[in-house]
Structure 1
Amino acid sequence: MAPILEVKNLFKNYGSTEVLKDINVSIDEGDFLVLVGPSGCGKSTLLNCIAGLEPITGGDLFIGGQNMTNVSPKDRDIAMVFQSYALYPTMTVAKNITFGMKVRGIDQATQDAKLNQVATQLQIEPLLHRKPGQLSGGQRQRVAMGRALVRDPKLFLFDEPLSNLDAKLRVEMRTEIKALHQRLGASMVYVTHDQIEAMTLATKIVVMKGGIIQQIGTPAEIYNRPANLFVADFMGSPAMNLIPARTRMNGKGMLVEIDRKDGDPIVLTDTRNKDLPENVILGVRPEDIADAALGRAGETQEADCVIDIVEPAGADTFAVMQLGGKHVTARLHAETSASAGQSQRLTFDLGKVSYFEPETGLRLN
């Protein structure tokens, strides 16, 4: 079966400025693709190219197996939900939702049936006679989604739809969009700069920087095996610790040495990875540094570390220390005995570490 969306060798220039450089990505029907990256990385431009709102400079774009490169937006069988909601202020919610169908000459009975179905799905039945000015941000967002849903398109496109909402509402709407995707089995492309949003919603993530795709993968692949230092640092909260280290081989395996602020270096033995260069960047997630006293399964090695700062955060306590000249964060249990200025015995899970080349930033293992 052909992918529902396929982008091949896509380039986008504004004058002499290259905004998107050789983009290749495809998704199957029912996938939830999230484009994520910092502001200005090209993710919204890519979405606009998929929608047909921006002409592309080079490459091809297929939707449902058909080449849509030069097809106008209205003929691409897509529905788009914008950050600004783009609702008509003088129309009721019901008219906003059915307006597109009315323009396309769909009969009244079908319009009413679709409206009722979508209003029930999104729980906005009581709002149908109100105007957008009488709605909260979250309600407007639901109406904008309703207007897209009645289309029943091949592809839904979302451009940072939750960025105007407060933190609590964002989490609620995120859950709602995920539930909606599971219920409809619809194909969705979603743009966000929020990596938590990307991790929770996506079946497939595209991480972008400077108009170039850095990595494509499932949330687990991106989180556990970042392709380079940029992805490692960008995805995850708190971010992955990236610690300069030295390696050398001995009889047991590879020794990894990390400088400590006071005293001798920490030496960890890695039995899995060999043939690494002498200088590496060791990537370790905060949750993979644990309290030795509480025990931990996995390929763990213990070391004593002086804790600089302790930050209680409810279920977790974050402990910050200096290793390899960097601030390193450990995610410990709430009941940890760690305290600032004291040495704490910690375990490092070497089964889960990443190694990066310091010059290129590329993953080595």
Structure 2
Amino acid sequence: MAPILDIKNLYKNYGAVEILKDINVSIEQGEFLVLVGPSGCGKSTLLNCIAGLEPITRGELHIGGRNMTDVSPKNRDIAMVFQSYALYPTMTVAKNITFGMKVRGVDQATQQEKLQQVARQLQIEQLLNRRPGQLSGGQRQRVAMGRALVRDPKLFLFDEPLSNLDAKLRVEMRTEIKELHQRLGASMVYVTHDQIEAMTLATKIVVMKGGVIQQIGSPAEIYNRPANLFVADFMGNPAMNLIPAKTRANGVGTKIEIARKDGAPIVLTDTQNRNLPEDVILGVRPEDIGEPDHRASQTAQAAECMVDIVEPAGADTFVVMQLGGKHVTARLHSETSAQPGKRQQLAFDLGKVSYFAPDTGQRLN
């Protein structure tokens, strides 16, 4: 079976400026694809190209096995949910949801059947007679989603739909969208700059920077094996620690030296012979640096570090120190005894670290 969305060698230019460069990505029926990256990376432009709102400079775009490269938006069998909701202010919620069906000539009985079905799914049955001005931001977003759902399209497109909501409502709506996807088994493409949204919603993530795809993978692949320094730094909160280090094979494995601001360097031994260059960037997640008694992994090794800052954060406490000339964060348990200005034994889980080339930024292991 053909992928529900298949993008091949897509380029998008505005005049002489290249916005998207050689984009290749596909998703199968039922997948939830998230395009994520910083502002200006090209993710919304790519979504608009999929929707047909922006013409492609060169390349091909297939939806449901059909070449849609030059097909108008209304004939692509897609539904789009915008950041700004884009509701008709003079129409009721019910009329906003059914308006597209009315324009397409869907009979009244089918309109009402789909309206009631979607209203139940989104829990907005009590809002059908209200107008958008009488709704909260979260309610408006539900209505916008309802208008897309009644289309029953091959592909749903979401353009940063939660960015106008407050933090608590964003979490609630994120859960609702996740449940909706699981219940419908629909194919979705979702744009966000929020890497937490990307990690929690996606079955497949595309990380973008400067109009170029940096990595495609599942949330676990992106998080645990970032392809380069940009992905390592962008995906994760707090971000992955990226520490300049020196390595050399020592017969037992790979010796790692990390400079300290006070005294001799930290020396750790990775038990694998990794054939690494002398200079590397060591990538280690904050949760992979812990206190030895809470770090049961056989691949963990302890070292003494000088604590600079302690940040209590409820269930966790973040500890910041300087290693390799960089601020390094460890995620410790809330009852830690770590104190600023004092030395602390910390265990680094070398079974979960990443190594990157300092010159290219590419992953080495």
- Give the TM-score, by structure 1 length: 0.99
Aligned 8 A contact 2:162 2:170 in 1: yes
Which residue type is aligned with residue 308 of structure 1?
A: D
Q: What does the per-residue CA deviation read over 1:102-146, in whole Å, with 9 as the maximum and x for residues that have no partner?
A: 000000000000000000000000000000000000000000000
Match of 2:114, SS state, is: helix
Residue 174 of structure 2 aligns to a residue whose secondary structure is helix
Which residue does the alignment assign to 1:77? Answer: 77
Instruction: Map 1:1-365 to 2 at 5 A.
Output: 1-365=1-365
Contact 1:9–1:24 at 8 Å: present in 2 too? yes
Contact 1:36 1:206 in 2 (8 A): yes
Distance 1:331 1:295 in 2: 11
8 Å contact from structure 1 (residues 223, 236) kept in 2: yes
State whether residues 80 and 157 of structure 1, in contact with CA within 8 Å, keep that contact through their aligned partners in structure 2. yes
CA contact (8 A) 1:260 1:323 kept: yes
Deviation digits for residues 236-264 of structure 1, max 9, x if unmatched?
00000000000111121110000011011
Give the distance between the partners of 1:254 and 1:30, measured in 2 at CA: 43
Matched residues, percent identical? 82
Runs of 4+ in 1 over 4 A off after TM superposition: none
Q: CA deviation at 1:272?
A: 1.9
**Aligned partners of 1:342 and 1:145: how far apart in 2?**
53
Report the Cα distance in structure 1 between the residues aligned to 2:364 and 2:265, rounded to whole angstroms: 22
Aligned length: 365
Cα shift at 1:316 = 0.3
Q: How far 1:76 sits from its partner (Å)? A: 0.2
Structure 2: any 5+ residue segments left out of the alignment? none
Work out the CA distance in 2 between the residues paired with 1:90 and 1:336.
57
Verify the 8 A CA contact 1:290 1:296 in the aligned structure 2: no
**Stretches of structure 1 lacking an aligned partner (at least 5 in a row):** none
**In the aligned structure 1, how far is the partner of 2:336 from the partner of 2:291?**
7
Secondary structure of the residue aligned to 2:233 is helix
Alpha-carbon distance in 1 for matches of 2:258, 2:334: 27
The alpha carbon displacement at 1:293 in A equals 3.2
Q: CA shift at 1:294, angstroms?
A: 2.9
Give the aligned residue type for 1:259.
Answer: A
- Shift in Å at residue 10 of structure 1? 0.1
C-alpha distance in structure 2 between counterparts of 1:71 and 1:10, whole Å? 15
1:49 maps to amino acid = C
Q: How far does residue 295 in structure 1 lie from its aligned partner after superposition?
A: 3.9
Q: 1:295 to 1:189 in 2, by over 3 A?
A: closer
Kept in 1: contact 2:249–2:273 (CA 8 A): no
Looking at structure 1, the residues matched to 130 and 254 of structure 2 have their Cα atoms a distance apart, in angstroms, of 67
SS across alignment from 1:351: helix
> Take 2:142 and 2:273, find their aligned partners in 1: how far apart are those partners?
49
Q: CA deviation at 1:298?
A: 3.7
RMSD over aligned Cα, in angstroms?
A: 0.6
Aligned equivalents of 2:212, 2:98: Cα separation in 1:
38
- 1:307-330, CA deviations, whole angstroms, 9 ceiling, x for partnerless residues? 000000000000000000000000
- Kept after mapping to 1: 8 A contact 2:314/2:334: yes
Deviations 1:247-294 (A, max 9, x none): 111121110000011011001101124210000000000000001133
Cα offset for 1:81?
0.0
Q: Which amino acid aligns with 1:185?
A: G
SS of the residue 2:236 aligns to:
coil
SS state of the match for residue 332, structure 1? strand
Q: TM (normalized to structure 2)?
A: 0.99
CA distance in 2, matches of 1:77, 1:7: 16
Shift of 1:296: 2.0
Q: CA offsets, 1:2-53, max 9 Å, x none?
A: 1000000000000000000000000000000000000000000000000000
Tell me if structure 2 keeps the 8 A contact 1:261–1:322.
Answer: yes
> Retained in 2: the 8 A contact 1:293–1:345?
no
